[in-house]
Amino acid sequence: MDLHAKTLTELAAGLDSGEYSSVELTQSLLERIAAHDEKLNAFVTVTSDNALAAAERADQARAAGEGGVLNGLPIVHKDIFCTRGVKTTCGSRMLDNFVSPYDATIVERLAAAGAVVLGKANMDEFAMGSSNETSFFGPVRNPWDLDRSPGGSSGGSAAAVAARLAPAATATDTGGSIRQPAALTGTVGIKPTYGRVSRYGMIAFASSLDQAGVITRSAEDAARLLGVMAGFDERDSTCLNEPVPDYVAELGQSIEGLKIGLVRQHFDEGLDADCSVRIKEAIAVLESLGATVVEVDMPNIDLSVPTYYVVAPAECSSNLSRFDGVRFGHRADDPEDLLDLYCRSRGEGFGDEVKRRIMTGTYVLSAGYYDAYYLKAQQVRHLIADDFKNAFEEVDVIAGPTAPTPAFKLGDKVDDPITMYLNDIYTIGANLGGFPGMSIPCGFVDGLPVGLHLVGHHFDESTLLRCAHAYQQVTDFHTACPEDFA
């Protein structure tokens, strides 16, 4: 049985019918990881023993007529989520020896629903990067072309799902780190509204921007997982107490009359011409399904990248100050004094991109520069959020490209931070405003996937999922598999 070829929803049906057991499914995927991950480097840790034990418990629960909505279904966690008894590294040398004593809220919720965790996925260090090249454990490779990046920071999650090593993975998105790798690997990625999913146990990069989400192979699979993960958590002060709809039940609703806005500023010379064609073809499909399309103007959206790269480093410099070599994480050998311990532990533990952002953040928060940089960036952030709110007075969904180009070659941008930062130019705005965003496969350019980006109003993930599902009912881009991993 080619179990790896099935989506999460298809696997659930097979488990329910008794076609195979969770142990058989889990063993099959573990063997596939062992056979293929050396080429991809998508995993930091593979939890074989834990996974098989969880699968056995799931089979026992099913035999007793018990178990949650994800009972026996295998997933992968991005290595930014604390997982009890398992190494949680954040892709950094700083946490290479850290074994979490507790579970993140979403880890708890997915486990309670019966999910089986195959391992922890590689990622850009502390989620800082757009190519998965800043990881202490080496770059992740794109299954569509092993010489190319899978995107970042959730590149390991995206590559694992695209290569059929796992049907689904958790991920995080601070400026596009779910949606951009989903676009570059031909997978589905959704970042829910800020505050929709608990951040408790998710190691912080930029606290006002970070949000947990998922990478899957279909909108239906994403709806299944998000329904389990979402909801209020009293342990997270940023988690909002909003009712969670039944995302799966709402998938089948028609998109007849849905108003879709195309951002004028997103179709400029910065967008690859062939990618632009694929996006417009996808929009035409949505129109054929009954949606109406209008152009919207967002005059401040082009300020998203500079605004983000003031706000995010400022928050990162504060969040990462806890990693000092004293309480946990990497500790320098034989320090001469306390200052030497701090300096060498942080110097050895952090990579170049993390250091760059810490230094930038410290600078913009410093006396004499706070008003000129950080305060001004927060003011512009409000203008960008207002652009979205004004657009949503006219439309239900904002659509456009997820990334300006298909997957780029490893090494092409790693020495040019500004060019790398611009790879998130279309996704950052949703984070600055806290809006839900989603990327779905919509075609290929030179054999490489292209993603359609959808943004919805606050707490309206249902409309994004419904729109994506409708598109996937009449197209098959999301079913395509890299040839070497079929």
The catalytic residues are: 78, 153, 177
> 339 by DSSP, 3-state: which?
helix
CA dist., res. 73 & res. 324, Å (int): 38
Q: How far apart are CA 185 and CA 149, in angstroms?
A: 9
Contact call for residues 79 and 156 (beta carbons, < 8 A): yes
Integer Cα distance of 1 and 19 in angstroms: 10
Angle between the N-to-C axes of helices 273-288 and 461-474, in degrees from 0 to 180, rounded to the nearest 10: 90
Q: Which residues of 233-245 are buried (b: 16+ CB within 10 A; e: fewer)?
A: beebeebbeeebb
Backbone angles phi, psi at 128, to 5 degrees: -105, 100
C-beta of residue 43 within 8 angstroms of C-beta of residue 123: no
- The DSSP element (H or E) to which 212 belongs, if any, is strand 211-216
Q: In what order do the strands lie in the sheet with 43-46?
A: 43-46, 116-121, 74-78, 169-173, 211-216, 188-191, 437-445, 448-456, 397-401, 259-263, 292-296
Q: How many CA atoms lie within 13 A of 219 on its CB side?
A: 30
Place of tokens 């806890």: 322
Identity of the residue numbered 338: L
Using only C-alpha atoms, what is the Rg of the chain?
Answer: 21
